[in-house]
């Protein structure tokens, strides 16, 4: 029977989703509102519009509309790199000698190398539609910046990326991909912004940080006519756009009568996990079906497994709104883990609320275990996974190996968010036995949590 | 009408080809036989079997069998990364405002980043099937080595790659990908082989060369029990395996009633072009249909456009058999063009014969023109192309722009062989305006051609 399911399921254009699913509509406990960092009052639509595009603010604040129609132009762009294949991991199952059935949704078949493009094109589209000239953003390792550059190139929109200085210098490849797509890439801190100049004057030799790059990008957007700031994860709007991952997956699974018992995704800011689980979680919330959901995070940055559910700043510079989420404290500095995309102190408010309400589990792994899983996966399934994605692989392998012991024929689904082509230094350190694991102590975490802002709620 | 054709056509598993098509069966003038470098007599099956796997030698020598059944194990491996999509370049057409219809077959959606995997798995399979322990090969930039490592990892076969020393040191990324797949990668020249030691003693500081790496790989294979040598291009067997590209393309085009007027591919050793055009060329040879075929090569290494059709050594070390082909002389040292995969002095004997007999055209472009085309393509179609593939893009853009002028609604098909993720230094030099073009003088070419071996035929 099972061999009647192809190795890879590609939806036809007619089968592809035409709406984004808004998980918040089915949540009894809605995610808490963003707060103004000055007044600590909920951000109004108007306040948010100074930073974000108007249409995106509407999506951010709308906890009720269940389906959002995807504009035709975005659907056309999606057709350039979607559908993403749902892969039946026959080779991995055989290698593991597990009775489990393993599926993964592979989002790496595009030049940004990850799922980030799904939201980048949406955000760029609404910016263009509003008549804006351009958008600003920050990037660390560069996945989000690359995705945004591609979307902006397609729409003829200016794209200004503040890239953490040390990445700009030590990881020139993604910088060059962004330049190929016409983005202007500035090492941060720069002298282009007040906050950048202030930091440079105080710390002339600084390597920069994501927090500083965010502050520069926001300052530039707010201070430049015709520009807005865009962000690649955490926000409700981003999870909305990323629901296309889960909806495509569910259509493919329904077509072949597949019911996943457990759904696994890596979680940094939560955009991939939130997107992958959305329609399945919706069914669970509505009592129509049951699934287990597992968020996987690095042991070095364990916001769900060891953080606190509280209001906190989204950035280290404390210029962005506050969100109620699982957080390690905006002051928390994760060790230099190679999964750059998971080095975030907080977690999407939607996912945080669901986790808090008991709808989801979370686990964490040290990175050497993760790279070992990555290599096993690469050798059997061919795809070279990103370090971020490999967290989900590790959890899926563990689950499949438990099935081997118990004999359970579980169906496992995980999100393979991207490829590791730009992470070969990390693989090299793993091959050479030089990779180390850093797990923060309770004191480390308590220390940064002690500085959480005092907010009711 | 045309919009009824999807952006991307993926064959279903049932539609995928199950045979390789042997173009030689339909050629009136067969490609000339390989010659023994010592005796200058045609290589016998037995002689070839000292270097290559027995089954591959049969494929190499068989000019008559039209279809070869693809073994089940290879079909299963193909399912892991194939079908490759046939893409209708709607966005590019719109950007160019051309009445031409542009299609490309995209072979980059796998970790090797190119079409090379199609032959790597076949060669590894026959080696495994013969009961061998492992295979040896050489690699320059690393595409072929990566593909072979993936195939060997899958089959549990040992893989020994000699990588040109300067690439090993300056381009560590593909080296690490190969190590991820368990290959042993040795910088060449090494002290592991006689030829390596000889060269190291004579030139202690040498950077290595492809010619030397080939010689080391062949020596190692011939001198080690249970090992054979494998090669990623030029050979008849490789073109046979790569016919899967063209056959998949033709099935997809036939399904939608599309007839390409012109078919374009980049040409280094010829494996991609030979594979892409195979079934179309077959129809042309049998007088069933007509197509134009265009081979695109770098101006810095113009074997078809400026070389001679003659017997020549396949390697600079002169240890491999001689082939009758368009060649610039095995002594020819191409300038450091960024399209490493096209820096080969010769051309597949099959393609050489077809070009000689007037069935195919050839053009060449300087690399700055090629990178300009690459960037335009990336910005409209999203995919970041490999420098090699971008040669075909450049020719396709030129053809489409001619259509804009003449108003012709031609259907253009080109092969997009791979992605450029590991070529960002090249893109950087292009962005920074530091890329130069080097075109050999007539004297350069005459000089290396003057050293061609004296062989009848």
DSSP, residue by residue, A39-93: T-SBPPHHHHHTTS-HHHHHHHH-SS--EEEPPHHHHHHHHHH-SPPEEE-HHHH
Report pLDDT for B447: 95
In angstroms, the CA A346 to CA A270 distance is 9
SS3 track for A152-200: HHHHCCEEEEEEEHHHHHHCHHHHHHHHHCCCEEEEECCCCCHHHHHHH
For A227-277, what is each residue's pLDDT tens digit? 999 999 999 999 999 999 999 999 999 999 999 999 999 999 999 999 999
Report yes or no: A9 and A84 within 8 Å, Cβ to Cβ: no
Domain identity same for A212 and A340 = no
Please give, rounded to a whole number of angstroms, the shortest distance from the CA of B38 to a CA of chain A: 40
Burial pattern B148-161, b for ≥16 Cβ within 10 A else e, equals bbbbbbbbebbbbb
Contact B379 A179 (CB under 8 A): no
Domain identity same for A365 and A379 = yes
Domain identity same for A293 and A420 = yes
Residue A1 has pLDDT above 60, yes or no: no
Q: How many domains does chain A have?
A: 2
Please give the structure tokens belonging to residue B423: 């070529």
Q: Which residues of B touch A172 (CB under 8 A)?
A: 424, 428
Parallel/antiparallel/unpaired status of strands B101-106 and B411-416: parallel
Tell me if A60 is assigned to some domain. yes
Domain identity same for A141 and A251 = no
Domain end point (choices B176, B201, B229)? B229
The reply to whether B381 touches chain A by the CB within 8 Å rule is yes
Residue with tokens 């509102």, as numbered in its chain: A33
In angstroms, the CA A147 to CA A169 distance is 20
Please give the structure tokens belonging to residue A424: 């070969």
Per-10-residue mean pLDDT, chain B, length 457: 79 97 98 94 95 97 98 96 97 97 97 96 98 95 94 97 89 92 96 92 86 90 96 96 98 97 96 98 98 97 97 83 94 78 90 98 97 97 96 98 98 97 92 93 95 84
Tell me if B455 is assigned to some domain. no
Domain identity same for B138 and B86 = no
Contact A154 B12 (CB under 8 A): no
- State the pTM of this model: 0.95
pLDDT classification of A320: cutoffs 50, 70, 90:
confident
In angstroms, the CA A49 to CA A39 distance is 17
Domain identity same for B214 and B240 = no
SS3 track for A397-427: HHHHHHHHHHCCCCEEEEEECEECCCCHHHH
Tell me if A273 is assigned to some domain. yes
Contact A384 B177 (CB under 8 A): yes
Question: Which CA distances in Å does A9 have to A274, B172, B182, B455?
Answer: 22, 34, 29, 54
B169's CB contacts (< 8 A; 6+ apart) are: B187
Q: Which helix (H) or strand (E) holds B226?
A: none
Residue with tokens 């004579």, as numbered in its chain: B202
Tell me if A415 is assigned to some domain. yes
Tell me if B75 is assigned to some domain. no
Residues in chain A: 457
For residue B82, give the chain A residue with the closest CA.
Answer: A8
Among B329, B334, B332, residue whose Cα is nearest residue B311: B329
Report yes or no: A148 and A159 within 8 Å, Cβ to Cβ: yes
For residue B290, how many other CB atoms are within 10 A of its CB? 10
| Owning domain of residue B293 | 9-14+82-113+236-449
In angstroms, the CA B384 to CA B376 distance is 10
Please give, rounded to a whole number of angstroms, the shortest distance from the CA of B81 to a CA of chain A: 8
Domain end point (choices A229, A254, A274)? A229
Domain of A293, CATH number, reads: 3.40.50.1100
Domain end point (choices B229, B248, B275)? B229
Report yes or no: B245 and B272 within 8 Å, Cβ to Cβ: yes
Contact A176 B427 (CB under 8 A): yes
The reply to whether B428 touches chain A by the CB within 8 Å rule is yes
Please give the structure tokens belonging to residue A186: 């500035």
The reply to whether A257 touches chain B by the CB within 8 Å rule is no
Report pLDDT for B167: 85
Question: A330 or A120, which is more confident?
Answer: A120
Domain identity same for B333 and B359 = yes
∠ CA A359-A365-A371 to the nearest 5 degrees? 130
For residue A430, give the chain B residue with the closest CA.
Answer: B180
For residue B226, how many other CB atoms are within 10 A of its CB? 13
Tell me if B261 is assigned to some domain. yes
Question: Which CA distances in Å does B61 have to A226, B221, B355, B406?
Answer: 66, 21, 20, 45
In angstroms, the CA A424 to CA A385 distance is 11
Domain identity same for B37 and B129 = yes
Contact A79 B6 (CB under 8 A): yes
The reply to whether B12 touches chain A by the CB within 8 Å rule is yes
Domain identity same for A279 and A330 = yes
Residue A202, exposed/middle/buried by CB under 10 A (0-12, 13-18, 19+)?
exposed
Domain identity same for B425 and B376 = yes
For A61-84, what is each residue's pLDDT tens digit? 999 999 999 999 999 999 999 999
For residue B85, give the chain A residue with the closest CA.
Answer: A81
For A23-66, what is each residue's pLDDT tens digit? 999 999 999 999 999 999 999 999 999 999 999 999 999 999 99
In angstroms, the CA A197 to CA A204 distance is 10
Domain identity same for A99 and A144 = no
Tell me if A413 is assigned to some domain. yes
Domain identity same for B368 and B382 = yes
Tell me if A457 is assigned to some domain. no
A176's CB contacts (< 8 A; 6+ apart) are: B424, B425, B427, B428, B431
């Amino acid at each position: 029977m099972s061999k009647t399911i192809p190795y890879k399921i590609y939806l036809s254009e007619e089968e592809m989703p035409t709406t984004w699913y808004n998980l918040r509509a089915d949540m009894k406990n809605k995610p808490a509102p963003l707060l103004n960092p000055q007044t600590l009052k909920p951000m109004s639509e108007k306040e948010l519009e100074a930073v974000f595009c108007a249409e995106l603010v509407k999506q951010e604040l709308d906890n009720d509309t269940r389906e959002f129609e995807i504009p035709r132009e975005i659907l056309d762009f999606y057709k350039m790199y979607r559908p993403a294949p749902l892969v039946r991991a026959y080779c991995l199952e055989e290698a593991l000698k597990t009775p489990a059935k393993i599926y993964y949704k592979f989002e790496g078949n595009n030049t940004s190398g990850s799922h980030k493009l799904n939201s980048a094109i949406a955000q760029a589209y609404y910016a263009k539609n509003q008549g804006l000239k351009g958008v600003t953003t920050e990037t660390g390792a560069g996945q989000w910046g690359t995705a945004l550059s591609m979307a902006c190139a397609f729409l003829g929109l200016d794209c200004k990326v503040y890239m953490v200085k040390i990445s700009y210098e030590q990881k020139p490849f993604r910088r060059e991909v962004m330049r190929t797509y016409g983005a202007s890439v500035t090492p941060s801190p720069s002298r282009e912004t007040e906050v950048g100049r202030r930091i440079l004057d105080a710390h002339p030799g600084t390597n920069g940080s994501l927090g500083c790059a965010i502050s520069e990008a926001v300052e530039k957007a707010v201070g430049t006519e015709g520009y807005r700031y865009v962000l690649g994860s955490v926000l409700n709007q981003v999870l909305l756009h990323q629901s296309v991952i889960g909806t495509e997956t569910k259509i493919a699974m329904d077509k072949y009568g597949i019911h996943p018992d457990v759904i696994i995704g890596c979680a940094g800011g939560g955009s991939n996990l939130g997107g992958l689980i959305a329609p399945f979680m919706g069914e669970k919330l509505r009592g129509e079906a049951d699934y287990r959901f597992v968020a996987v995070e690095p042991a070095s940055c364990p916001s769900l497994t060891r953080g606190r559910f509280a209001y906190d700043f989204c950035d280290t510079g404390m210029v962005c709104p506050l969100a109620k989420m699982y957080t390690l404290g905006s002051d928390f500095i994760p060790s230099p883990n190679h999964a750059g995309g998971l080095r975030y102190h907080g977690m999407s408010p939607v996912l945080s609320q669901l986790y808090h309400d008991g709808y989801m589990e979370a686990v964490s792994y040290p990175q050497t275990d993760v790279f070992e899983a990555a290599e096993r996966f690469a050798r059997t399934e061919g795809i070279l996974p990103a370090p971020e994605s490999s967290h989900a692989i590790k959890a899926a392998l563990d689950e499949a190996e438990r099935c081997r012991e118990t004999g359970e024929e579980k169906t496992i689904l995980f999100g393979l968010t991207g490829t590791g082509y730009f992470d070969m230094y990390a693989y090299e350190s793993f091959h050479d036995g030089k990779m180390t694991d850093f797990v923060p102590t309770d004191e480390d975490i308590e220390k940064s949590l002690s500085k959480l802002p005092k907010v009711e709620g």
